[in-house]
Amino acid sequence: MPTQKPKSERLFERAREVAEHYGFIPLSKATANASTLRGGKKIVLRPPKDDVPGEADRLSLMHAYIDYNFATLPSPLMVYHSEPLSKSMDRNQYGGKGAVQFSLEIIGSDRSVAEATLFKTTFEILRDAGFDSFSVVINSLGDKDSIARFTREFTNYYKKHITEVPAHCRNLLKKDVFKVLECAEEKCMLVKEGAPKPIATLTEDSRTHFSEVLEFLESMQVPYSINNCLVGGKDYYTRTIFEIRTDDTKNRLHPKVSLGQTLARGGRFDELARRIGGKKDVPGVGITLSMGGLGLIEPKKNSVTKNQKKPNIYLIHLGMSAKQQSFSALEILRKAKIPVHQSLSRDSISVQVAAAEKMNVPYTVIIGQKEALEGTAIVRNMTTRSQETITLEALPSYLRKVKV
């Protein structure tokens, strides 16, 4: 009989199971696939050079994407990976020796649904880990044109109030205005109250993108607030940047653990590839979960893991409201332990149908605008082309009946 795994290991495995249901694969599988395409040549990730949680391995991943042409893999590339805690973090507080953070990355999609997929996956990981109350703090820096405009307007504003600004912020202003935005000194905070805000200088494309991200959050019924001072670094992030936080110090499944407020943080890094030597920009967005210090321990490599059942259905959507409803369908199927293929990053229904046919799945689940409004889905038999409209709640029992 196998011995029971520690809670921290089971927590990691639950996070992995949720991630895989929503379409993420292990980073090791992505590198193996890329190696196969290169004739079996070994792929070695560059070792992380910095100590920012999540970002170090994200840089290694982006280097690999460029060095080994990961663009030849199915797009977008959706991977999960773990990394040791930052040296600056108290390991005793964050799970003790061996504790890691869990990261999700989507590379190759500039669509707002990529952020939505990260959010939904993370929310369900947190709920499975015993977090009942959390919210999102979010901001948008916009694209490079938005950032340039904000930098110019913010700098001009501060120059007009330079005598009111602390000395260290005057120096920061010359180097990086975003560092000034992060300053929490009272004098600087007073000056910032009337300063230009990043979301006020967004280009039309960036504003539309941010609005769509907020729409997805609203459809998921998770509270959010916009923090104009949440910026990260302009040399790393573009467009959306976010944190998931909790004000509840108690965790339902781990009541004795002392929790921190920040459960996860991440953002878009659409221009990172070019900044580290790539020939072109590669859109990407990622999130790193520390779960407020709950502590995740990655199971040993020789430990037995469950073989995931191969999906026999493909979820197809048509339109924004259908995408929003698709996340509800995915979660209903996850709770029913029914795996499913999906490509929410694609808009074309013909492309989605072609993908389903290529995978030779016996059934597709289709959600369009009408179905999104009615809370239903069309289940189509791909062999006979017969179909039936089913409520989302009844979807698992119907799929079991047809032996999916």
Please report, for the chain, the start and end positions of each structural domain, with discontinuous segments joined by +: 7-131+246-297, 135-226, 313-401
Note the pLDDT of residue 80: 93
Which long-range contacts does 326-329 make (Cβ < 8 Å, 24+ apart)? 326/367, 327/116, 327/120, 327/216, 327/219, 327/220, 328/392, 329/365, 329/367, 329/377, 329/392, 329/395
pLDDT tens-digit readout, 79-115: 999 877 655 554 444 455 667 789 999 999 999 999 9
Are the beta carbons of 376 and 390 closer than 8 angstroms?
yes
The number of residues making up the chain comes to 404
pLDDT category of residue 265 using cuts at 50, 70 and 90: very high
pLDDT category of residue 308 using cuts at 50, 70 and 90: low
> How far is it, in rounded angstroms, from Cα 141 to Cα 150?
9
pLDDT greater at residue 78 or residue 94: 78
Note the pLDDT of residue 91: 46
Would you say residue 255 has pLDDT above 70?
Answer: yes
Tell me what the mean pLDDT of segment 295-321 comes to: 77
CB atoms closer than 10 angstroms to residue 138 = 23
Tell me what the mean pLDDT of segment 53-62 comes to: 70
Phi, psi (degrees; rounded to nearest 5) at 358: -65, -35
Would you say residue 243 has pLDDT above 90?
Answer: yes
pLDDT category of residue 125 using cuts at 50, 70 and 90: very high
Write the Ramachandran bin of 291: left for phi over 0, alpha for psi from -120 to 50, otherwise beta: left
CA atoms within 13 A on the CB side of 384: 6
Q: What would the two tokens of residue 303 be?
A: 């430990």
Which of 258, 18, 23 lies closest to 129, judged by CA? 18
pLDDT tens-digit readout, 148-173: 999 999 889 888 888 888 888 888 88
Which of 81, 80, 77 lies closest to 108, judged by CA? 77
pLDDT category of residue 332 using cuts at 50, 70 and 90: very high
Note the pLDDT of residue 247: 86
Are the beta carbons of 107 and 208 closer than 8 angstroms?
no
Would you say residue 244 has pLDDT above 50?
Answer: yes
Note the pLDDT of residue 94: 46
3-class SS string, the chain: CCCCCCHHHHHHHHHHHHHHHCCCEEHHHHHHHHHHHCCCCCCCCCCCCCCCCCHHHHHHHHHHHHHCCHHHCCCCEEEEEEEECCCCCCCCCCCCCCEEEEEEEEECCCCHHHHHHHHHHHHHHHHHCCCCCCEEEEEECCCHHHHHHHHHHHHHHHHHCHHHCCHHHHHHHHHCHHHHHHCCCHHHHHHHCCCCCHHHHCCHHHHHHHHHHHHHHHHCCCCEEECCCCCCCCCCCEEEEEEEECCCCCCCCCCCCCCCCEEEEEEECCCHHHHCCCCCCCCEEEEEECHHHCCEECCCCCCCCCCCCCCCEEEEECCHHHHHHHHHHHHHHHHCCCCCEECCCCCCHHHHHHHHHHHCCCEEEEECHHHHHHCEEEEEECCCCCEEEEECCCHHHHHHHCCC
Write the Ramachandran bin of 30: left for phi over 0, alpha for psi from -120 to 50, otherwise beta: alpha
The third-level CATH classification (topology) of the domain covering 7-131+246-297 is BirA Bifunctional Protein; domain 2 (3.30.930)
Tell which CATH classification among 1.10.760.10, 3.40.50.800, 3.40.30.10, 3.40.630.30 matches the domain 313-401: 3.40.50.800
Note the pLDDT of residue 90: 47
Note the pLDDT of residue 1: 40
CA dihedral angle for residue 170, residue 173, residue 178, residue 183, rounded to 10 degrees = 0
